Amino acid sequence: MRFLPHTGSDRQAMLDSIGVSGMHDLFADIPSEFHVEKGSLKLADALSEAGIVRKFTRAAEKNHNASNSRYFLGGGTYHHFVPAAVDYVISRGEFLTAYTPYQPEISQGTLQALFEFQTMIARLTGMDVSNASMYEAATATAEAALMARRVTRKSRVLMAGSVNPRYRAVTANYLSRLDGEYAEVDMGAFGTDLDKVIAAMDEQTACVIVQYPDFYGSVYDLAPLHAACDANRCLMVVAFSDISAFALIESPGAMGADIAVGSGQSLGIPMGFGGPHLGLFTCKQKYVRQMPGRVCGMTSDANGKRGFVLTLSTREQHIRREKATSNICSNQGLMCTAAATYMTLMGDAGLATVARHSAAALQSLVSQLPAHVSAAAGAHYNETVLSFAGYAARERFLLATRNHDMFAGIPLEQIEAGVDTRHLLVATTEMIEEADITDFLAALEVSL
């Protein structure tokens, strides 16, 4: 049976009601040359299914993507290897749901996977507790700002200018509907001077948000900032983009973060044109009741057997109503399971290998740069900013790399409005081999 919601006379009644004579009038704003009249398209005859597959396979083979080229793009999404077993595990019928299960009696497997996910994320970030995920890093950052306001009962939020512009924009948007000041600290071009952030802090500041490694890949000691935060009774929120970093460098928790939020996409989740991502949210134990989102807990049933349940639900909307810690009442269950599977497969040693290779590739690239291209100063993990003599030099290089199956970097102005058009944000992962770096460096010759 066809689904016919409106009859011809229904439509006519609606058209009469808004005072137009026919459907055609509804499209009057679109220039007539863009109107397609029925039967005016000169389409070829229909193809067979096999013919269509052949045609589109040929067309798709012309696409350049991360898997058939050398890929140096980061900026919040990273091209790490995803073992085939991850997809196999999350595709199983027992796990294949995007929803967090409410009924522990039928969902022990999923709940246990989420609990293990939380445990592993807490260990990797060095934090006490993790929730069972947010959607992505930008909204997780905004939620961290809201949580810091609840914990401190203060309203001012201070954001370092070296945080990913998208995390900043989403946080600013969330806070724009609330009382209280939101301020960003201008760090200068790829600046890492945290004293600027410390100077902007005051007694009204609920939290300071920094990214580590920052948007430009810089790594620096957060201890002085942490001390200043404590002196102002203000929380230190640490955002991150590529969590693989913490298998190698000091974790946010070890640096004294009160809340650490970021992306878990690096943990076995394909880039997928930007989604679905996985947002991570962790904090100190003493703040757990102000944390947003789902939390899985381990308990025992009436017979004393171990079991897993959703816990601390009294923070959440369906119980606490308008006083809930957050509007978020769902999570990325399937992506959590993917991340848990990935971390389990890799283990401590595997993650450390990924991190070492990712960092070593950047180190190798930067150490061999010709004199006419400079890299941002200071320590970096797997991402940095390369600066060219000018826009034209950078574009010559980008064209040369495109012709050699290489995505060499993100023109910084595409993500960060207003910066010079001669910078390139370049990221490396374990997918970059020494030969790729050699080719990258060779292509730089055209930018002289």
Would you say 168 or 294 has its CB closer to another protein?
Answer: 294
Nearer to another protein, 230 or 420 (CB): 230
Interface with another protein by CB under 8 A: which residues? 153, 289, 314, 319-320, 323
Residue 71, φ and ψ in degrees, nearest 5: -120, 110
Q: How many angstroms separate the Cα of 58 from the Cα of each of 61, 63, 273, 317?
A: 5, 10, 21, 50
Nearest distance from residue 154's CB to another protein, in Å?
Answer: 12
CB 408 → another protein: shortest distance, Å? Answer: 52
Least distance from C-beta 285 to another protein, angstroms?
A: 12
Q: Considering the complex, state which of residue 80 and residue 154 has its C-beta at the smaller distance from another protein.
A: 154
Nearer to another protein, 324 or 415 (CB): 324
For another protein, give the closer residue by CB, 277 or 315.
315
Q: Least distance in Å: CB of 27 to another protein?
A: 53
CB of 153 to another protein, least distance (A): 8
For another protein, give the closer residue by CB, 282 or 325.
Answer: 325
Instruction: Find the shortest distance in angstroms from Cβ 150 to another protein.
Output: 11
Residue closer to another protein by CB (options 168, 315) is 315
